[in-house]
Structure 1
Amino acid sequence: MKIARLGDAGHEIPAIQREGVSYDLRSITADIDGAFLAGGGIARARAALEADALPEIANASVMRVGAPIARPGKIVCVGLNYRDHAAETGAAIPGEPVLFMKDPSTVVGPFDDVLVPRASTKTDWEVELGVVIGRTARYLESPADALDYVAGYAVSHDVSEREFQLERGGQWDKGKSCETFNPLGPWLVPADDAADPQRLGLRLSVNGVRRQDGSTENMVFDVAHVIWYVSQFMVLHPGDLINTGTPAGVALGLPDHPYLRAGDVVELEIDGLGTARQRFVQA
């Protein structure tokens, strides 16, 4: 089972998908948001689907695919969370998760165009496992409890402008928060339907050339630890998104630094979570 949002930007229809067929969830919820997740929405949607109580969306195959959740309250990102990525950038393996924030308005659909910022010369790619929170998490007692707070998982693209991030004042957020810099989806796969989050392959290609090919088993801090850790410093609310880091193969770490330009096409996939494709255009 997969959760999706279909339709023009700002007018997406909440949907549930099974075996390639999309069903309209508007009898359950107006949108896939924090209130839906906190109120047991996934369980209610599953029950309605199993009872054949949802109408099929007849033209779903030709509709735009939006991000699978409405704009999150916040996006928390984990830097340098793969050993090979830290090595390729010349950074030490962190002793604690490196956290930074990303503007929630950067979230767009998985097949939407991504804007290369004005004056950008170092726009980079990062395929990441996105974790969507389903229950309020504050001061969790241990990582052992943390996965109980996950609503589901999605393909997330943490697009980054490296000059803005690393050379313009030493503050990462502005290199991460440019317009359209977080394509998400195509689906939210509920936690109960997803595989072990520490056994997922992640891949990314640029113009048909494979650049990243990693596995979440190589995270420095696993998903459960990250959620527990974040909850010690801020409250995680239903609908919040955590980007859990990227494996090696980003332009910053490659010898020729082949940063993205207008006209480039990036394709991403994570095992069981679907594929995404974005064309880069000049802002």
Structure 2
Amino acid sequence: MPVRPSLASWFLLLVGQPLLFGSNVLVSKLMAGQIPGVAMAFWRWALALLILAPFIRRELVAGWPAIRADWRGFLLLGALGMGVCGAPVYLAAQTTTVTNISLLYASAPVLIVLFGRLFWREKVGAVQALGVAVSLAGVITVILKGDPAALLHLTFTPGDLWVVLAATGWAFYSLLLRHRPAELAPVARFAGICAGGVMAMLPFYGLEMALGVAISPSPETISALLFLALVPGLASYLVYGRLVAVFGPERAGMTLYLMPLYNAILAGLLLGERLEAYHMAGAALVLPGIWLATRRAQ
């Protein structure tokens, strides 16, 4: 009889997944100007699919009839989860800050709850609502650096609108991932979504190249694309898909509240920025908030 993972194991996945996912924001900022936005999203998922496919040949062969029958659904999920959630972030990194990207992307859990109620008539329990509020308070603490007056000085660039689009796409992707039938093995389903995303982005990638915006191949750009494919690509999405299946899209989406905190820590490690008391205060709110939102999940 297989051993069921403990709640502690699931909680570690919940708090670890946004670290994988949030690395995407830092890489997009570091590579802004070196890799065009659409090209970065396209090759992130094309490489991820090429790396994954040889390891799941049996699952792909067994699931091919289902993938072919529902190709429109996979195209939609891929367009949302790989295209809308990816390319806009890379485009935004050219004109806005990592902090703004993290803050705006952290609105996705609220959008998941809102869209879930509007389009799927999902209920929100009191404990879950409390978890959302506590986690959001932690995010705001980090963004404002513990100073409420800093709210008056926040500025938003046109690039921030790209992040709003990405967060909206993530919300719909999460909900559709939960509510669409899952007859395939998880890895085969994910590969089908990857393929749908690559196909959906192909025309936009072609347009970007036609406009004269192309990648300049170098060890740095190739390494960045491989990292994007493996870490915020394959690892992050496979873990997130499992979390959605276990906890539901609203609770799994709550993990995005950790992105601003993680990015602040990574910025300290990579860019020499100091870890301040408000980072710890934010973590003290975000982590219990996620716990409250997920502790009743079966």
TM-score by length of 1: 0.24
- Structure of higher RCO (CA pairs closer than 8 Å, 6+ residues apart): 2
Bigger fraction of residues in helix: 2
TM-score by length of 2: 0.23
Bigger fraction of residues in strand: 1
